């Protein structure tokens, strides 16, 4: 006890000095936000780590619950730096970290350049931009921005599918009052590597969006035009500079204490894949690459509703199809159905069940024109402890069991398969 008293006695003057210094400094109010997931899992019968069938880049078409085998985090820092006379400026940033292998303890950023089980994770700068609200006198109430950012992404959470993800470096003006709605315009670029030469080609994207009320609903219309910007040297190399476009309409409605969204998308030419894969930046060399899509479309309905005081339901139904680039090759087609009912036992405890079905045929090419469809089904159950009641409450700790069935499960692990195996795991997911 004497040692403890002596310790605290010695530290009190230091603590007082630090407190005084802090009080003398301007108050800091930095906004700190983020997202994170990590966990551990294994196969009960076949051994080894859990086999997963989706990812954050393309989506989980049988649902993401018990189908995430990675560690991923996003950390955001931002602050309002100026606010006078109704005008404000703020700075926002985000870095992310990802590691595909959750089975090792030492996950540095670059531990083993030769690959292997002890490879580290990767870090990336995802956002770095400044926005000014009400700073354009001719456009009162609008927001001017420039830098690198996630730009008004649209997603289905339980699929981890961003069906519109036109992010990158650029500038724009958001929330321009026009009629009964809001107009947003932006220029962004996202470099693409040409498949034949390996050259990076700048891909310019012009994004126009208009959201307006339609009765009790909100209709959002989006048009994106992608244009490759080749250098003279790249033109001399014969690099393809195909342009492309993408259209989207989303009807958002309040429904049963939650929401429902109905979406129609169409993409063509260099953006021909955007109605079939994640709605990303576009490809500059689409015309030169076999197996790519000349055009594609997606019809999607998803939402989260309250069935009762205890029951909630997340759901999605998706159909998408694409025209193969190579003549005579099979076209692409996919159908996905996912439901996730959640029962809330208490404000901090719930059980989630996720049922998923996916059937996909990828586009053929000149070397392999005929493609067979491959189906996948999933049954998963998770006991959850979360920070408050409701479908969206986070952070959450999950203990789960899942089983996958069908062609994709049979073909996993180089053909050894995990069809019908029981996958057990624990996961945390958080956002703030």
| Domain that residue 260 falls in | 35-431
C-alpha separations of 357 from 218, 294, 301, 337 in Å: 29, 26, 15, 5
- The answer to whether residue 11 is domain-embedded is no
pLDDT less than 70: residues of the chain: 1-28, 101-120, 195, 279-291
- The CATH number of whichever domain residue 221 belongs to comes to 2.40.170.10
Q: Are strands 143-149 and 168-178 parallel, antiparallel or unpaired?
A: antiparallel
**pLDDT at site 21:** 45
Tell me if 395 sits within 8 A of 389, measured CB to CB: no
**pLDDT at site 154:** 95
If one counts the domains in the chain, the total is: 1
- The answer to whether residue 5 is domain-embedded is no
Say which residue the tokens 């025209």 belong to: 323
What is the C-alpha radius of gyration for the chain, rounded to an integer number of angstroms?
A: 25
- The answer to whether residue 172 is domain-embedded is yes
Q: What is the pTM of this model?
A: 0.89
Mind listing the pLDDT tens digit for each residue in 328-386?
A: 899 999 999 999 999 999 999 999 999 999 999 999 887 889 999 999 999 999 999 99
- The answer to whether residue 1 is domain-embedded is no
**pLDDT at site 106:** 62
**pLDDT at site 195:** 67
d(CA 400, CA 385): 12
- The answer to whether residue 166 is domain-embedded is yes
- The answer to whether residue 30 is domain-embedded is no
d(CA 207, CA 189): 11
- The answer to whether residue 13 is domain-embedded is no
- The answer to whether residue 4 is domain-embedded is no
With vertex at residue 279, the alpha carbon angle to CA 273 and CA 282, rounded to the nearest 5 degrees, is: 55
């Amino acid at each position: 006890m004497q040692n403890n008293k002596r310790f605290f006695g010695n530290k009190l003057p230091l603590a007082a000095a630090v407190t005084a210094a802090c009080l003398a400094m301007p108050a800091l109010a930095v906004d700190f936000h983020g997202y994170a997931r990590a966990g551990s899992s294994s196969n009960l019968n076949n051994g080894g780590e859990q086999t997963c069938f989706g990812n954050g880049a393309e989506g989980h078409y049988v649902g993401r619950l018990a189908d995430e085998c990675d560690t991923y985090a996003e950390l955001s820092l931002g602050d309002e730096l100026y606010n006078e006379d109704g005008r404000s400026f703020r700075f926002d940033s985000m870095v992310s970290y990802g590691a595909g292998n959750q089975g090792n303890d030492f996950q540095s950023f670059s531990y083993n350049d030769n690959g292997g089980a002890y490879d580290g994770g990767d870090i990336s700068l995802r956002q770095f931009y400044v926005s000014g609200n009400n700073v354009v006198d001719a456009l009162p109430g609008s927001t001017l921005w420039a830098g690198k950012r996630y730009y008004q992404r649209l997603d289905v959470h339980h699929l981890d599918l961003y069906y519109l993800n036109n992010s990158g470096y650029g500038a724009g003006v958001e929330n321009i009052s026009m009629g009964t709605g809001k107009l947003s315009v932006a220029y962004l670029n996202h470099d693409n590597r040409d498949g034949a030469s390996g050259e990076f080609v700048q891909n310019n994207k012009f994004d126009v969006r208009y959201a307006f009320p339609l009765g009790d609903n909100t209709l959002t219309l989006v048009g994106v035009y992608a244009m490759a910007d080749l250098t003279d040297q790249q033109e001399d190399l014969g690099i393809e500079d195909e342009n492309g476009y993408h259209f989207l309409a989303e009807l958002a409605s309040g429904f049963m204490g939650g929401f429902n969204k109905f979406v129609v998308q169409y993409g063509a030419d260099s953006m021909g894949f955007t109605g079939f894969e994640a709605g990303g930046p576009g490809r500059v060399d689409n015309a030169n690459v076999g197996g790519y899509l000349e055009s594609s479309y997606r019809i999607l309905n998803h939402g989260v509703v309250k069935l009762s005081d205890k029951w909630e339901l997340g759901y999605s139904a998706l159909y998408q199809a694409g025209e193969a680039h190579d003549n005579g090759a099979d076209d692409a087609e996919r159908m996905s159905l996912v439901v996730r009912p959640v029962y809330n036992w208490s404000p901090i405890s719930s059980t989630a069940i996720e049922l998923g079905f996916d059937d996909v045929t990828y586009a053929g090419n000149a070397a392999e024109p005929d493609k067979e469809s491959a189906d996948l089904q999933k049954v998963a159950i998770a006991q959850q402890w979360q920070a408050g009641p409701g479908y969206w409450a986070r952070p959450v700790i999950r203990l789960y069991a899942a089983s996958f069935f069908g062609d994709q499960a049979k073909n996993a692990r180089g053909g050894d398969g995990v069809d019908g195996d029981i996958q057990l795991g624990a996961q945390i997911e958080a956002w703030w």
